[in-house]
Amino acid sequence: MSQVVAEFKQVDSWFFRESRPHGSVGANALNSVFPPPTRTLMGAIRSYIGYQYFAQYNEYNWDNLDNLPQLQAVIGHAERLGSVQPRGVFIKRISGKDTTYYLPAPSNICEKFEQDKNHYLAFKLTQKPYQTDIGHIHLATLPEKVEGLVDSRGFKPLENTWISTQCWQAILEGDISALAKNSHQICKLDDFINSEYRLGIELQTDFSKENVRSVKEGQLYQTTHLRLAPDVSVVMPMQYDADDLSQVGNEVLAKQATLRLGGEARMANVQFLTEQADYLPKAPKQFTQTQSNGKKRFMLYFISKLIMQNGWLPQGFTQNQAQNGFDGNINDIAMTIVSACMGKAYREGGWNQLEHKPRPIENYLPAGTALFIDVDESINDSEIIAKLHGKTYLDNAWGEGLMLVGKVIQN
């Protein structure tokens, strides 16, 4: 598979509607989610490829898609993707000659500002399991004593935070001290975006009535648009089959384009970067730690959302009371989830353009979810890296559950 990075830059403000409906109780304005949902960005890319194809073969249009196997092989159809598949959505910032990629911060890292500087700690597991409402499991906790600080009270998880690839590399190596040295590369959303509040009017869209597209009396709504900082763009790495793409046109992903993107069809410039981009940190060569029970433990991070199954668990995992965890298999690696650190569930719906109706709202594990994993001692580190690091959960075509592996952090 070949790789390319789609970089989206703003022409106008953007709006990516949250899952909450208009007029919901206790709220006046609809917020915009950030980063843009993968489905929204892929919808724009797939439409762009389709229009490029129809420009070459003007005897065809979207009504002929069912009878165009070459085009379908590239962009897919309705809910099914073709060979062009995303691998996460991240942030890119250019400062002078320096280019920095930012990924969602892991949920096992906590921050506290004291003595005129930021301090960072990582959750660790309790020595013994506790009986909870989800079973007999080890809990994640902060150390009671911290060198250089009175105590660990006041530390909070990194929410709505993005950290650089360099900081992520230190986390995977288990070196949390590097975060304080590079705190300028740990950014909140406000460092990347500004909010703009807009007032809209609902239109009459029922074609069975008169005055179609006239204003509905009293139907006002408020939305929150996003404006990126001048040096910030959104990037979506993609993989594709070069042979399939050649049937549509080799230059399709080698051009710059202006697209309609998100709610209200706001404009965006997109360019396709073919050079190798180091947006993902590398896995440490040796990162597992042998436990007293003979198992090997490491951290597994999801840097893109993943659909929940059976409560909060990823698909295919079931509880194992004997092991005080949850057993399952990811990409042919048998493992046990000992404990987890995660933020609030991410909810996403969207719009079904083919059938002109909303898509069902589903719950996802949020990007940044951190899992404490145990595997059998017979599984070596290189095998884990080959099957998990930089790969998606069960080879998800939408890039959901993009994984990183690293050491358990010792504060």
Do 268 and 342 lie in one domain? The reply is no
Whats the size of the chain, residue-wise?
A: 411
Q: What is the mean pLDDT of residues 303-308?
A: 94
Single out the residue of 372, 351, 369, 368 nearest to residue 360, CA to CA: 351
pLDDT bucket at 282, cuts 50 / 70 / 90: very high
Do 215 and 348 lie in one domain? The reply is no
Q: Is 128 exposed, middle or buried (0-12, 13-18, 19+ CB in 10 A)?
A: exposed
Do 204 and 78 lie in one domain? The reply is yes
Do 354 and 238 lie in one domain? The reply is no
What one-character-per-residue DSSP string does 282-302 give?
Answer: PPPSS--EE-TTS-EEEEEEE
- Flag whether 65 is in a domain: yes
Number of domains in the chain: 2
Final residue in a domain of this structure, among 211, 238, 273: 273
- Flag whether 267 is in a domain: yes
Of residues 249 and 26, the one with the higher pLDDT is: 249
- Flag whether 398 is in a domain: yes
pTM: 0.92
Are 387 and 376 in contact by the 8 Å Cβ rule? The answer is no
Q: What is the mean pLDDT of residues 346-359?
A: 80
CA dist list (Å): 159 to 207, 343, 368: 45, 8, 9
Q: What is the mean pLDDT of residues 247-272?
A: 87
CATH assignment of the domain containing 55? 3.30.70
- Flag whether 155 is in a domain: no
Structure token pair of residue 107: 């949920």
Structure token pair of residue 190: 């406000």
Do 78 and 226 lie in one domain? The reply is yes
pLDDT tens per residue, range 324-334 = 899 999 999 99
Chain mean pLDDT for the chain: 89
Q: Omega into 35 within 30° of 0, i.e. cis?
A: yes
> Does the pLDDT of residue 92 top 60, yes or no?
yes
What is the domain range of residue 67?
A: 2-87+192-273
> Does the pLDDT of residue 28 top 70, yes or no?
no
d(CA 217, CA 112): 50
- Predicted pLDDT of residue 376: 96
Final residue in a domain of this structure, among 273, 304, 328: 273
- Flag whether 115 is in a domain: no
CATH assignment of the domain containing 378? 2.60.40.4350
Do 297 and 252 lie in one domain? The reply is no
Do 353 and 222 lie in one domain? The reply is no
Are 52 and 252 in contact by the 8 Å Cβ rule? The answer is yes
- Predicted pLDDT of residue 25: 45
Do 302 and 397 lie in one domain? The reply is yes
Of residues 213 and 186, the one with the higher pLDDT is: 186
- Flag whether 352 is in a domain: yes
Do 203 and 308 lie in one domain? The reply is no
CA dist list (Å): 371 to 70, 124, 141, 399: 40, 11, 14, 18
Do 300 and 397 lie in one domain? The reply is yes
Q: What is the mean pLDDT of residues 335-360?
A: 86
Are 362 and 348 in contact by the 8 Å Cβ rule? The answer is yes
Sequence-distant (≥ 6) Cβ neighbours of residue 199 within 8 angstroms: 220, 221, 222
d(CA 85, CA 396): 9
pLDDT tens per residue, range 192-237 = 999 998 887 777 777 676 766 677 776 777 888 999 999 999 999 9
Do 400 and 293 lie in one domain? The reply is yes
Of 53-62, 283-292, 345-354, give the lowest mean pLDDT range. Answer: 345-354
- Flag whether 137 is in a domain: no
Percentage of the residues of the chain whose pLDDT score is greater than 90:
61
Do 251 and 336 lie in one domain? The reply is no
- Flag whether 411 is in a domain: no
pLDDT tens per residue, range 129-143 = 998 888 889 999 998
